[in-house]
Structure 1
Amino acid sequence: MNKSSALNIPSDVSEIKVQNFINGQWCPPTTNKYMSSWNPATGQKSYAIPDSSSADVDNAVRAAKSAFPVWSSTLPEERAAILNRIADLIDQYGDKLAVIESQDQGKTVFSARTADMPLCSGYFRQFARCAVEGFEETKSQMNAPCTPVAVTQVENSVLQSTTQHVPSGVAALITPWNFPMLMVCEKLAPCIAVGNTCVVKPTEITSATPYLLTLILQAAGLPNGVANFVFGTGVNAGEPLVKHKDVRLVSFTGGCVTGAKIGSMAGGLLKRVSLELGGKNPSVVFNDCNLEHAVATHIRAAFQNQGEICLCASRQYVQRDIYDKFVKMFREMTTKEVRVGNPGDSKTYYGPMVSQQHMEKVLTYIRLAQQEGAKVEFLVNPSDPAVKNVANDGRLTISGMEGGYYIAPTLITGIKQNSRVMQEEIFGPVVCILPFDTEEDAVMLANDTQYGLGSSVFTQDKARLDRVTKQLNSGSVWGNSWMNWDDNMPFGGLGCSGTSREHGPWSLEFYTETKAIYSLVSR
């Protein structure tokens, strides 16, 4: 902890100069090429990011491979001590990291400080415990057969069998832009806790806090080469990393299209792959629900983190006899409580989209809904002095931040179930609310998607809650809530939402190889 005073965590993202972190050293990309990052709140350039190449990937993988023998044989207690020091430093610098995260991604400083940063340190503490506790290995004993084939068999012997989980080697960790530092920590903590080494390739859109994390890793005493960071694009850095011959396993979180490509590349090379992809998550609201609680929860599920959460409930189905009342309450409560603007303002509910490109993608879906004749409402408080203008497609102009990538809370009704707006992941502050009549209709509508990440059911009928949650095709299902989290439970999706599970013991399983050991002993 003596090194912590030397950490240079800046107060503004424009002060950062991102460098690759390879074998414990910060270094420029071998190409000496950089890309610009943009502050989403203002639309102005903020800092430069390395445009790394396969040569940088080679250097990083070589460092990770070289560090693996020592790190994998390091005592679990020693690894755990380092992970706990990393957690302590994240907590110590959490307020500064939250400001940088907000300036880089667009989320509010409040959410970054109260949610993202505590979860980051929490992952390191959780897997520090797991490293020490180890696995509950499977053990078995049986009488050993003595047959003519088993010529080396010993009579009156017993076959004792046990499993052993061992680290896999070098891992590739590829992370998205909606939770820049959190997604790195979610993968990095279990990966190194069990003795692997790794190369992290954060998204080029939000690289600031992943870079600052490298300062913390070194200050905490993580040995050189255990965790290496290469910054750049998916084409120039991500693809060479996935294909590298010395990378044993690949963990990716991101979009379905990219995930399918990575799965194909890595699977063809017989690498172990974890894909946590997107969602088009349904929520079903029955007429016996606690209506006020349901509406408040669905507003959060629609607009938290600008709607840039893979678990956002962007398809909400409400039983017809309470549909009008639900929509009316949703409209009024959102207009009153969901303020869009400066992410540094404590009164702001959500900030800008992460990039201009992503903003344009979200606006395209809003325009499509308008073209299809749906009712599209922008739920902006007309008395909000920060909002200078609401465009016809929902883009907001915020006073003092006129170049920022802001979109109004958007409510769509009267849309068809087969519309692209209902079937494709928008990943923004856009929610569609449709009515249903029967329980069977609700299940059918909710399951009518290529995704299967998360879903929710709201009813006070316990029998109905049990029936419907069991029928919904998603990796996580919440009853009368949304995104209440337990990191000891598995997380992942079905279909286009992914192929595996993360968190707790499921992460430990992914990052280790399981050996079966058989010992023949005398009775």
Structure 2
Amino acid sequence: MTTTATISANLPTDIKDVHIQNYINGEWAPPTNGLFLDKYNPATGQVILQIPDSASADVDSAVKAAKAAFPLWSKTPVSERAAILLRIADLIDENSSILGTFESLDQGKPVFSAIHFEMPMCAASFRQFAKLITDGGIKESESRLESMITPTSITQPKASITESVTQHIAAGVAGLITPWNFPLPMVCFKLAPCIAAGSTCVVKPTELSSITSFLLSHILHAAGVPKGVVNIIFGSGLGAGEPLVKHKDVKLISFTGGSATGARIGALASGQFKRVSLELGGKNPAMFFDDCNIDHAVTTSIRGAYTNQGEVCLCASRQYVQHGIYEKFVEMFRQKVRSDIFVGNPLDPRTFYGPVISQQHMDKVLGYIRLAQEESATVEFLVNPNDIAVKGVSSDGRLTIEGHEGGYFIAPTLITNIKQSSRVMQEEIFGPVVCILPFGTEEEAVELANDTEYGLSASVWTLDHDKLDRVMRQINAGLVWGNNWLNMDQDMPFGGMGCSGNCRENGKYSLEFYTEVKTLSRHVFD
């Protein structure tokens, strides 16, 4: 029997040894069209490797492999599926340093966070669903109904009993399309419940950060995932993602990313009646009342604004502070960012955040900063004076970092004195930019927080427990924190409202998505 002690993923440790190929039916292959895309290091702006620019032919091969693997995998005993999930988790743990280092290089996030926070999350996803299916998975419903039937005569009804139960069965081939801000965690977040439920899949990672998804294919292979159960196709959204969504044999689509792309996916899938899970963007409010623990609140609000370069769908990018503490809060915020936040090389353990993902995305974020300046808002770049790596700040906040002059770095940006109606307050920026505005009453705070098309998350800060409960219940968001941010229970549902999506994921909610439910109703004869 193969054990975790006898398997090895043999992952490369040098970027020069990484040659990304599609993973189809248990084998690696270049794209059939022979085309590749340049992948840029966001910290330097230099090309570090190429990824396949896959097209519909590659997608079709991957879907065929997943479809062929489905009958056997869906009938594989739960114990065997769980054992494979646990081997995957162990291999992720064994290779966490390699995976985290490449994740940092590929995406721009701090290497410490990638290794010590995100890689354990990846392993935990597989362990969570191994345990969940071993413990019984989704609890089936049962009923016993006494009724009257007429077995032989219309005029002489007879009492009977009908027993009904539900059965969850694997749904089929899933298309998993993942974002660039948390590349490997988001793949694992979708992949683990999919294969735990007995479904098979084609994964399409973002073309902007594909390295760790490729390395994961080697881990899946080493862990004994059968051929065709998981296939990974690399390429652009238009070239590979759209054919995957439209493929007739793909029964369900799980997508995490921007709202505009989510709307496009929903439209493409609706004509074929596919099941679609959309986890989209956010413009998340945080409300700080006069009676909050201001030291804790300010520290956490900074994390909520700038973690992962602000490239977090849950970032608290709109912060509302009650008048009584507004000036003190903002000044504490300024001073703490300037003293504690270091921006620069993501491989430097001192770095709090690194570059944003791409030139295009940097231009988008800087465009919002310029818009705020044009609208006469107060825009401050809170650069740490002790950050000797920072050699310059442009008028719109771009940083020049010594040794990384071509990187996509943006200063920690604070915007105040801006109108609630501004696009800067209403649209997702997805960068190290936060707006802080004052409010007066509890009712005004709720109104401001709900004044958005999004509804992913929010946080409320007060030591008054009644107020906390009252306000939290009035916020239109799928996830509302009280006196904390980003504390996640992996068994609780996660998802948004409005332009933030239509799904609920995590735990049994994810298993339900990757399964079909049947009702089995039978008559019990005397």
Normalising to structure 1: TM-score of the pair? 0.98
**Does 1:114 pair with 2:111?**
no
SS of the residue 1:142 aligns to:
strand
Counterparts of 1:314 and 1:97, CA distance in 2: 29
State the shift of 1:2 in Å.
6.6
State the shift of 1:423 in Å.
0.3
Counterparts of 1:122 and 1:4, CA distance in 2: 21
2:177 aligned partner: 174
Equivalent AA in structure 2 for residue 84 of structure 1: L
Normalising to structure 2: TM-score of the pair? 0.97
Q: Is the CA contact (8 Å cut-off) linking 1:253 and 1:277 kept in structure 2?
A: yes
Partner residue of 1:197 out of 197, 200, 208: 200
Partner residue of 2:219 out of 194, 216, 233: 216
Q: Is the CA contact (8 Å cut-off) linking 2:4 and 2:91 kept in structure 1?
A: no
State the shift of 1:270 in Å.
0.2
**5 Å matches for 1:17-416?**
17-132=19-134, 133-147=136-150, 155-416=158-419
Equivalent AA in structure 2 for residue 467 of structure 1: R
Counterparts of 2:8 and 2:479, CA distance in 1: 42
Pairs aligned (count): 522
Counterparts of 1:70 and 1:40, CA distance in 2: 42
**Does 1:482 pair with 2:503?**
no
Counterparts of 2:18 and 2:361, CA distance in 1: 23
Q: Is the CA contact (8 Å cut-off) linking 2:4 and 2:87 kept in structure 1?
A: no
Counterparts of 2:497 and 2:54, CA distance in 1: 33
Q: Is the CA contact (8 Å cut-off) linking 2:298 and 2:333 kept in structure 1?
A: yes
Counterparts of 2:140 and 2:224, CA distance in 1: 30
SS of the residue 1:506 aligns to:
helix
Q: Is the CA contact (8 Å cut-off) linking 2:9 and 2:91 kept in structure 1?
A: no
Counterparts of 2:250 and 2:13, CA distance in 1: 36
State the shift of 1:12 in Å.
3.3
Counterparts of 2:436 and 2:11, CA distance in 1: 43
Alpha carbon RMSD of aligned pairs, Å? Answer: 1.4
SS of the residue 2:148 aligns to:
coil
Equivalent AA in structure 2 for residue 414 of structure 1: N
State the shift of 1:384 in Å.
1.7
Cα deviation, 1:22-75, whole Å, max 9, x if unaligned, reads: 000000101010000000111110111000010001100000000000000000
SS of the residue 2:494 aligns to:
coil
Counterparts of 2:279 and 2:386, CA distance in 1: 41
Equivalent AA in structure 2 for residue 487 of structure 1: Q
Q: Alpha carbons of 1:374 and 1:4: their partners in 2 closer, same or farther (altered >3 Å)? A: farther
2:15 aligned partner: 13
2:506 aligned partner: 503
Q: Is the CA contact (8 Å cut-off) linking 2:7 and 2:222 kept in structure 1?
A: no
Unaligned runs of 5+ in 2: none
**Does 1:473 pair with 2:476?**
yes
State the shift of 1:383 in Å.
2.9
Counterparts of 1:180 and 1:306, CA distance in 2: 14
Query: Identity of counterpart residues, as a percentage?
Result: 62
Q: Alpha carbons of 1:56 and 1:285: their partners in 2 closer, same or farther (altered >3 Å)? A: same
Counterparts of 2:268 and 2:150, CA distance in 1: 45
Equivalent AA in structure 1 for residue 291 of structure 2: D
Unaligned runs of 5+ in 1: none
Cα deviation, 1:321-379, whole Å, max 9, x if unaligned, reads: 11000000000000000100111111110010011111111000001101110110000
Counterparts of 2:302 and 2:168, CA distance in 1: 43
Counterparts of 1:154 and 1:241, CA distance in 2: 54
Cα deviation, 1:466-512, whole Å, max 9, x if unaligned, reads: 11000000000000001101100000000000001000111011110
Q: Alpha carbons of 1:2 and 1:320: their partners in 2 closer, same or farther (altered >3 Å)? A: closer
Equivalent AA in structure 1 for residue 168 of structure 2: H
Counterparts of 2:224 and 2:89, CA distance in 1: 12
Q: Is the CA contact (8 Å cut-off) linking 1:90 and 1:120 kept in structure 2?
A: yes
Counterparts of 1:345 and 1:198, CA distance in 2: 36
State the shift of 1:114 in Å.
1.3
Q: Alpha carbons of 1:304 and 1:149: their partners in 2 closer, same or farther (altered >3 Å)? A: farther
State the shift of 1:13 in Å.
3.1
State the shift of 1:231 in Å.
0.5
